[in-house]
Amino acid sequence: MILESVLDKKKANKKVFCVLIDPDKFPEENILKIITAMETAAPDLILVGGSLVTKKTESTVDVLKKHLSIPVLLFPGSLLQLTTNADGILFISLISGRNPELLIGNHVASAPVIRSSGMEVISTGYILIDGGTTTSVEYMSQTKPIPALKTDIAVATAMAGEMLGQKLIYLEGGSGALNPVPVEMIEAVKQNISIPLIVGGGLNTKEKVKAACDAGADIIVVGNAFEKDLSLLKEFKEIVSAY
């Protein structure tokens, strides 16, 4: 079980390194280059998804699973990205927003398909944080992110997510964020929840990845950074594995 593995690492004070693949940004002809880089970096998990509508999710998952033994989780931005060939799915509820479709609507529509697929389902409270620019997820979700200085709101939202039964909390700066989630916010959220904390968005340098780890992130997600430089994957994995 993927969640069980994450919980075991958390209990052992170890971190989890995830690579986020956006099918729209990595057409199949470039996937093999990524696979070679991932064979070297050996991330713990691969997330597949993005904010825009795509028809490439299924084929991307197929290629990844054909060439790699790393678990592949769906990170769907819409119902159209749902496919049943992944190992599991982050069943995301955008708890920082007030768009009912992303709080529960899409979940109701997709639940029968997901249940019948046999995929592992990991309920995840998704909290969007202002990263200094309008990101794709903000625009597509039609929700406002929590301001970067409003740590108390982020903490209360994360606490509510855990109380509602979420298994993971995801603090997200958004793809292409100018600024990552502030370390003060990561620290505060970490201190107030007992479930694993994911941090992603804007983690495009070794220093930012290390800062997020130091602040208490249990799971580090990188995507936008290595799209331009695949060598960063190995460097980031070494940082995360050092904990």
Check: CB of residue 182 under 8 Å from CB of residue 154.
no
Q: Is 224 annotated as a binding residue?
A: yes
Q: Is 173 annotated as a binding residue?
A: yes
Q: Is 93 annotated as a binding residue?
A: no
Check: CB of residue 21 under 8 Å from CB of residue 34.
yes
Q: Is 172 annotated as a binding residue?
A: yes
User: Measured between alpha carbons, how far is 47 from 29 in angstroms, rounded to an integer?
Assistant: 19
Q: Is 216 annotated as a binding residue?
A: no
User: Measured between alpha carbons, how far is 43 from 66 in angstroms, rounded to an integer?
Assistant: 16
User: Measured between alpha carbons, how far is 14 from 35 in angstroms, rounded to an integer?
Assistant: 24
- Number of other residues whose CB lies within 10 A of the CB of residue 55: 10
User: Measured between alpha carbons, how far is 89 from 66 in angstroms, rounded to an integer?
Assistant: 18
81 SS3 class:
helix
Q: Is 139 annotated as a binding residue?
A: no
Q: Is 106 annotated as a binding residue?
A: no
Q: Is 201 annotated as a binding residue?
A: yes
Q: Is 170 annotated as a binding residue?
A: yes
Cα dist from 133 to 39, 129, 205, 214, whole Å: 33, 10, 18, 25
> At 155, which amino acid appears?
V
Q: Is 105 annotated as a binding residue?
A: no
Check: CB of residue 88 under 8 Å from CB of residue 118.
no
Q: Is 241 annotated as a binding residue?
A: no
* Sequence ranges of the binding site for sn-glycerol 1-phosphate: 170-176, 201-202, 223-224
* Sequence ranges of the binding site: 22, 51, 170-176, 201-202, 223-224
* Sequence ranges of the binding site for Mg(2+): 22, 51
